[in-house]
Chains A and B, each alone.
Chain A
Amino acid sequence: MQTNIQRIDQANRLKKRRTTWLAWLMLLPSMIILAVFTLYPIGESVYMSLFKNNMSTFVTGPVWVGLQNYVNLFTRDAVFKKAFYNNLIIAAVTIPSSVTLAVAMALFTNKVGRGKSFVRVAYFYPALLPMVAVANIWLFIYTPMYGLLGYIAPTWRLLENVDTVQWALIIMLVWKQAGYVMIFYISGLQGIDQEMYEAAKIDGANSVQAFWHVTWPMLKPTTIYVMIITMTNAYKMVDHLYIMTKGGPDNASNMLLFYVYQKAFDQSNVGVASAVTVVLIVILLLATVVQFYTQDKRTFYA
């Protein structure tokens, strides 16, 4: 008996070793590609941010400066501060407004009987357009005199005004991403059991109550996922800036990622650019951790 069990045990262990080996082999390609193109660049950014590496160190090679780049960023660099603050505003405004609009649109398109798919496409198409197309269309909407908005109010120069340029970009970003977010909510709504609404109705809930006590809590996982998407969207705004404002006027629309681009490729200041990159990564990391952490407590289905 004893020996038999041992034998089976041994065979199982052998088999397990083989399958483990096989599993790792299957995972290998994805691990390699993730390591080379995401993990390594992030590590390298952290490392490079500790060096002074710009035009002045071209001959000597990068010089170790420790955390000096970060200290400079947060104490002296006025453009960085502005970009940091601008990004914060963009995120704080676009995330809630995109989510609200998207939920409303998802509920609305679900109510539409005929022409549902047309309405969906109409809301969603801005997300499908290439950035260059979107940026050019909005450039025209905002152009004074000739532009569409310029037709209504010829004196408005939204993109050239320090006070308005941020808002012009915010409107464009919400316009572009709300429909994309809506798709996730539509699929989230499909996952809600209709019986829950019937139960709520029996308990005398009206449609507003049903929304707040059934729909919205059930959509929490979608909301968390969507918040990560909209957050990264807000922080990776760069294509539009490149085409529409170049961060101007007077850096009023500069954002962190565009600043990285300016530092690295226009000014060849790799050290500072890397430091800004690391700051960006930390922000996104923190946001994701917070969102994942709060997920468990707020949702009530596994």
Chain B
Amino acid sequence: MKKVTCSVKKKKIGFPKFNSSRNQWTLGTVIILFFLLVYFVLVIYPLIWMILSSLKTEREFFRNIWGFPAEFQWENYSKAWSMGISDYFLNSVFVTACTIATTISIAVLAAFGLVLYDFKGKNLILLLGMGGMMFSAQVALIPLYRVIQNLRIHDTYWAMILPYTAFRMSISLLLIRSYFLSIPREMYESGVIDGCSSLGILYHIYLPMSKPILLTVSILIAYYSWNEFLFSIIFIDSRALKTIPSGLMVFRDALNTDYALLFAGLTISALPMVLLFILMQKQFIRGLSSGAVKG
């Protein structure tokens, strides 16, 4: 801390001096705030437009692109839902739930092993985990396609669940590990004294204490698998198995020009994640700052 205060004193920086009294409303902040407000409108506008468009008739959509619909066409939603969105939606829910379950259970085991035991090759594994984080899933597309075919899981739910699990593994593992590191080792020792097995300690002591990070990791996984596009379009052929992102493509192509209906479908598909974030944002951010980014 000393270091910081010193450097503030010594260095004179070339920024215009603002009124440094307690009142923070200087010219600079006003400009920044104004800019951020404009940006706020720019960001929120497409959402409002999407929702308004989804409530128009097909004619209105082209005639009256800016304004409010004369009459809210709520049946657009039921129409979109029954035209296939319901299948994609349920597939997405299923795939997302499975991905969360497999990723969390595997990552928790690995994090526990990494935190509690010392053994040769531990650093190598950590490095591997870190490395896995930057290999963005889509990059190794062709060999992955072959792996999927050789495992004979092409065009099944597994063709999505397993790769999603693999590509969320690193970040989940690292987040859970750094959270486990913050749990005092005495907790483990007290478990040993009480005669608990290692898995028992994990289940009865570590997991209940780790709820915040597990929630954060689950949200990160859900976010990824709900929106993943490339794998679901390449590894899945049958319409019945498609998830929201790839299903929406089919939906879009089938609609021709009924864009109001398309936007109703898009709104439905976006809803779960937006709701999830609205409900969970506090826990999510707290979990991130407790586990994440600290390395």
Known: A37-B144, A208-B28. A191 touches B285 (CB 8 A): no
A238 touching B230 in the complex, CB below 8 Å, given contacts A34-B128, A213-B4, A281-B135: yes
Chain B residues, CB < 8 A from A42: 135, 139-140, 143
A91 contacts chain B at the CB level, 8 A cutoff: no
Report whether B13 and A212 are in contact in the complex, using a CB–CB cutoff of 8 Å: yes
- The residues of B that contact A117 with a CB separation of less than 8 Å are 278, 281-282
Contact: A38 with B119, CB < 8 Å?
A: no
Residues of A111-137 whose CB lies within 8 A of B: 117, 119-126, 128-133, 136-137
Contact A175 B114 (CB under 8 A): no
Beta-carbon contact of A133 and B50 below 8 Å: yes
**Known interface pairs A120-B281, A284-B134; A45-B43 also in contact (CB < 8 Å):** no
User: Are B106 and A228 touching (Cβ within 8 A)?
Assistant: no
Which chain B residues (97-148) contact chain A, with CB distance < 8 Å? 106-107, 109-110, 112-114, 116-117, 119-120, 125, 128-144, 146-147
> How far apart are B146's CB and chain A's nearest CB, in angstroms?
7
Check if A62 is an interface residue, CB within 8 A of chain B. Answer: no
- Which of B62, B117, B269 is close to A130, meaning CB atoms less than 8 Å apart? B269
Q: Is B76 an interface residue (CB 8 A)?
A: no
> Contact partner of A141 among B46, B162, B294, CB < 8 A?
B46
Taking a contact as CB atoms under 8 Å apart, the answer to whether B266 and A133 are in contact is yes
Asked whether B70 is an interface residue with its Cβ less than 8 Å from the other chain, the reply is no
Contact of A131 among B113, B143, B245, B289 (CB under 8 A): B245
Given contacts A23-B117, A187-B285, contact A133 B143 (CB under 8 A): no
The interface-forming segment of B166-174, B179-187, B203-211 is B166-174
The answer on a CB contact under 8 Å between A188 and B293 is yes
B295 interface hit (Cβ, 8 Å) = yes
* CB within 8 Å for A195 and B132 given contacts A38-B167, A48-B143, A130-B226: no
> Dominant SS at the B interface?
helix
Return chain B residues, CB-CB under 8 Å to A36.
Answer: 147, 166
Q: How far is the CB of B141 from chain A (nearest CB, A)?
A: 6
Closest B residue to A225 using CB positions: B293
Residues of B contacting A122 in the complex (Cβ-Cβ under 8 angstroms):
40, 43-44
Chain A residues positioned under 8 Å from B139 (CB to CB): 42, 235-236, 257, 277, 280-281, 284
Partner of A41, one of B29, B133, B144: B144
Residue A190 interfacial (CB < 8 Å): yes
B163 touches A (CB below 8 Å): yes
Given contacts A123-B40, A130-B227, contact A199 B4 (CB under 8 A): yes
In the complex, the answer to whether B270 meets A129 with C-beta atoms within 8 Å is yes
Contact of A31 with B by CB under 8 A: yes
Flag if B229 contacts A132 (CB, 8 Å).
yes
Whether B252 and A228, one on each chain, are in contact in the complex, defined by CB atoms closer than 8 angstroms, is no
Which of chain A's residues 8-27 have a Cβ closer than 8 Å to chain B?
A: 19-20, 22-27
Chain A interface size, under 10 / 10 to 19 / 20 to 34 / 35 or more = 35 or more
B1 touches A196 (CB 8 A): yes
Asked if B68 is at the interface of the complex by the 8 Å CB criterion, the answer is: no
Say whether B50 contacts A27, CB under 8 Å: no
Q: Evaluate contact between A184 and B8: CB separation under 8 angstroms.
A: no
Contacts of B294 in A (CB 8 A): 221
Neighbouring A residues of B227 by C-beta, 8 Å: 129-131
What does the 1/0 interface line of A65-100 toward B look like (CB < 8 Å)?
A: 000000000000000000000000000000000000
Q: Across the interface, do A205 and B295 meet the contact criterion of CB distance under 8 Å?
A: no
A26, A44, A124, A212: the one within 8 Å of B143 (CB): A44
Partner of A40, one of B19, B33, B147, B245: B147
The answer to whether the Cβ of A232 comes within 8 Å of any Cβ in the partner chain is: yes
Residue in A40, A130, A131, A184 with the greatest tally of chain B CB atoms within 10 Å:
A130
Is the Cβ of B288 less than 8 Å from the Cβ of A34?
no
Give the CA-CA distance A25 to B198 in the complex, in Å.
12
Would B277 and A121 count as touching, CB distance under 8 A?
A: yes
Also in contact, A148 and B65, with CB within 8 A (given A129-B270, A228-B134): yes
CB pair B292–A20 under 8 Å, yes or no, is no
Chain B's closest residue to A239 (CB) is B229
Which one of A155-163, A244-252, A260-268 is at the interface? Answer: A260-268
With CB as the reference atom, state the residue of chain A lying closest to B284: A183
Chain A 180-211 against B: per-residue CB contact (8 Å), 1 yes, 0 no? 00011011101101011001101111111110
Q: List 11 A-B contacts (CB under 8 A).
A: A34-B169, A44-B143, A104-B35, A121-B274, A121-B278, A136-B266, A188-B293, A199-B5, A207-B29, A284-B135, A284-B136
Question: What residues make up the interface of B, taking CB atoms closer than 8 Å to A?
Answer: 1, 3-5, 7-9, 11, 13, 15, 17-20, 24, 26, 28-29, 32-33, 35-36, 39-40, 42-44, 46-47, 49-50, 62, 65-66, 106-107, 109-110, 112-114, 116-117, 119-120, 125, 128-144, 146-147, 162-163, 165-167, 169-170, 173, 198, 223, 226-227, 229-230, 234, 244-245, 248-249, 252, 259, 262-263, 266, 269-270, 273-274, 277-278, 281-282, 284-286, 288-289, 292-295
Chain A residues with CB under 8 Å of chain B are 19-20, 22-27, 29-31, 33-34, 36-42, 44-45, 48, 101, 104-105, 108, 117, 119-126, 128-133, 136-138, 140-141, 146-148, 151, 175, 179, 183-184, 186-188, 190-191, 193, 195-196, 199-200, 202-210, 212-214, 217, 221-222, 225, 228, 232, 235-236, 238-239, 242-243, 257, 260-261, 264-265, 270, 273-274, 277, 280-281, 284-285, 287-288, 292, 300
